[in-house]
A = this chain, B = another copy of it.
Amino acid sequence: MMVACLPCSLDLNRARGGVVVRGEQAASTEGHRMARLDRSLIAGVPAFANLGAEALDDILSRAQIMRLLKGEAVFRQGEPAERFFLLLHGRLRVTRINAEGAQILVRFIAPNDMFGVAMAIGAATYPGTATAAVESLALSWPNAAWAELIAAYPSLAVKAMQSLGARLQDTQDRVLDLATQNVEQRIAGAVLKLARQAGRKTGEGVLIDFPLSRQDLAEMTGATLHTVSRTLSAWQTKGLVDCGRQKVVVRDEQGLSAIAAGGR
């Protein structure tokens, strides 16, 4: 618990000199950075792997850093896409809403993920809304930097393509799940996936390390929050999970996997 929080706090502090806080200064304008960004900020980003120190500095020199308060939106669905982003710390929820007002949770963005690359895929507006699930820290670049960066560092284009491909595979798997599995299987799958990508071992099991409500799980699985609540309650009785307000701890990964696979 405390161990995990430390790097976050440290990094937030370390970068604070260059932070543009929304409200003081709008993130969509070109804010003046008050300090040079440290290249260690992005040294561990998969998209920037294999790039040298000068490359990282070059990339960072075009970036703006922004701190996001919990609940704050980075961009909203339908807004003109003028910048693209990289999450440094925290967690973002991406939602999409249709004409009738029904909403799904598209994905959670983890640190070191690029997001909002609408322009790179030929979209003029953001196709979803990104909101900070916890206080977060992100870098952003103007769209114009995209073409310049991939021209200067072609490996970036390859990496971007691969991560886009992985997301396409993921999304197609989700279609397959929605079309062929029942609600309980889908909820189990979603919880397991979250535990793997954001889990932290505790004495009691694997805690999903950010606030996750029943409504979130419902929007991830195409269920209602009522059904999610009933399902989690039943699992708790069986000792599969331990859950509370916006909290889920997986106690029996095996058992959940069996449910996800259809062993009911």
Residues of A within 8 A of B (CB): 96, 98-100, 102-104, 106, 120-123, 127-128, 150-151, 154, 157, 160-162, 164-169, 171-172, 174-181, 219, 221-222, 261-262
Asked whether A179 lies within 8 Å of B102 as measured between CB atoms, the reply is yes
The DSSP consensus for interface residues of chain A is: helix
B176 and A175 within 8 A (CB): no
Contact for A102 among B123, B154, B165, B180, CB less than 8 A = B180
Cα A150 to Cα B160 in complex, Å, equals 14
Q: Are B168 and A120 in contact (CB under 8 A)?
A: no
Nearest CB in chain B to that of A98: its residue: B176
Residue of chain B at shortest CB distance from A186 = B179
List 12 additional A-B contacts (Cβ < 8 Å) besides A106-B175, A168-B168. Answer: A96-B172, A98-B177, A100-B262, A102-B176, A102-B181, A122-B166, A128-B172, A150-B157, A161-B161, A164-B164, A171-B171, A174-B175
| Other-chain contact of A161, B96, B104, B157, B175 (Cβ < 8 Å) | B157
Please state the number of chain copies in the assembly. Answer: 2
- 28 pairs of residues in contact across A and B, judged by CB atoms under 8 Å: A96-B176, A98-B176, A100-B180, A100-B261, A100-B262, A103-B180, A106-B172, A106-B175, A121-B165, A121-B166, A122-B161, A122-B165, A123-B165, A123-B169, A150-B157, A161-B161, A164-B168, A167-B168, A171-B171, A171-B172, A171-B175, A174-B175, A175-B175, A175-B178, A178-B178, A179-B221, A179-B222, A180-B222
Nearest B residue to A162, CB-CB: B122
Nearest 9 pairs of A and B residues by beta carbon: A121-B165, A179-B222, A102-B180, A122-B162, A178-B178, A171-B171, A168-B168, A104-B179, A164-B164
C-alpha spacing A154/B194, complex, angstroms: 37
Q: Which residues of B contact A106 (CB under 8 A)?
A: 172, 175
